[in-house]
């Protein structure tokens, strides 16, 4: 059966109450990327960086999945083939909406990582500066999120999925951050149909076969409905 690979970005979670990065008033209008989302920024001012992710962790814990997250979980459950969800989001809203095996290529707010020994564990709601790693005891805990200049997670697995996809959808992502922005080309090279679902056409919209415009909470359930109604 046809395999569907879905890439999601901040736009799928914004109707749940979480900010996007690049929309007006988004996170990157309020914070400098180099201060809060790079290893160098963390080395310079760990308190600022932990504070930024602590605030996002608290926010993410207080919101609910919306109709778009739930529709993708339904697609995973009811589609006769495989549905792979790859997300750039560090919130847990896909899982809260019922999705399984979500690939978090930019890590997750729920995780802590030791930058010294690589040990991973569940992050407390508030991470403190210099918090010790439970494995090596060094004061080198950091949020388990991918920063600019670092390699996103699970790339081999993602490229394998793209190489065997029949349909690729990018939902609520501006397509400005690589390598995720190039997934559409990988999928096309493998012969997949491609669709962009976004509030507005992105700079890379012309690279997709089709696009669907509107709020994710409306467009995604409709799209899923149509896919599931397709004669197999």
Closest distance to ligand OAD from the beta carbon of 165 (Å): 19
**Options 50, 76, 194, 202; binder of ligand OAD; rule CB under 6 A:** 202
**Options 50, 54, 173, 194; binder of ligand OAD; rule CB under 6 A:** 173
The stretch near ligand OAD (CB under 6 A) out of 42-50, 94-102, 135-143, 195-203 is 195-203
**Options 176, 179, 182, 191; binder of ligand OAD; rule CB under 6 A:** 176
Window 123-162: contact mask with ligand OAD (x via CB under 6 A): -----------------------x-x--------------
Candidate list 69, 94, 106, 161, residue with the active-site label: 106
* C-beta of residue 132 within 8 angstroms of C-beta of residue 138: yes
Collapsed DSSP state (helix, strand, coil) of residue 228: helix
Burial 71-104 (b: 16+ CB within 10 A, else e): bbbbbbeebeebbbbbbbbbbbbbbbbebeebbb
46 part of the interface to ligand OAD, by CB under 6 A: no
For residues 220 and 216, what is the distance between their CA atoms, to the nearest angstrom?
5
Torsion angle of the four alpha carbons 34, 200, 92, 18, in this order, in degrees rounded to the nearest 10:
70
> Active-site positions?
106
């Amino acid at each position: 059966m046809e395999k569907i690979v879905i890439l999601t970005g901040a736009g799928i979670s914004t109707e749940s109450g979480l900010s996007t990065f690049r929309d007006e008033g988004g996170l990157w209008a309020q914070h400098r990327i180099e201060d809060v989302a790079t290893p160098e920024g963390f080395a310079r001012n760990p308190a600022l960086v932990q504070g930024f992710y602590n605030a996002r962790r608290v926010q993410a814990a207080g919101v609910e999945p919306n109709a778009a997250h739930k529709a993708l979980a339904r697609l995973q459950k009811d589609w006769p083939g495989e549905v792979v969800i790859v997300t750039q989001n560090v919130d847990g809203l896909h899982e809260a909406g019922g999705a399984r095996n979500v690939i978090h290529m930019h890590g997750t707010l729920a995780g802590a990582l030791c930058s010294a020994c690589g040990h991973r564990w569940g992050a407390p709601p508030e991470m403190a500066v210099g918090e010790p790693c439970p494995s090596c005891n060094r004061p080198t805990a950091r949020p388990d999120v991918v920063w600019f200049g670092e390699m996103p997670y699970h790339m081999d697995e993602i490229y394998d999925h793209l190489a065997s996809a029949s349909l690729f959808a990018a939902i609520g992502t501006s397509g400005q951050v690589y390598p995720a922005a190039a997934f559409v080309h990988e999928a096309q090279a493998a012969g997949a149909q491609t669709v962009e679902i976004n509030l507005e056409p992105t700079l890379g919209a012309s690279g997709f076969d089709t696009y669907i415009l509107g709020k994710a909470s409306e467009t995604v359930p409709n799209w899923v409905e149509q896919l599931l109604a397709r004669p197999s």
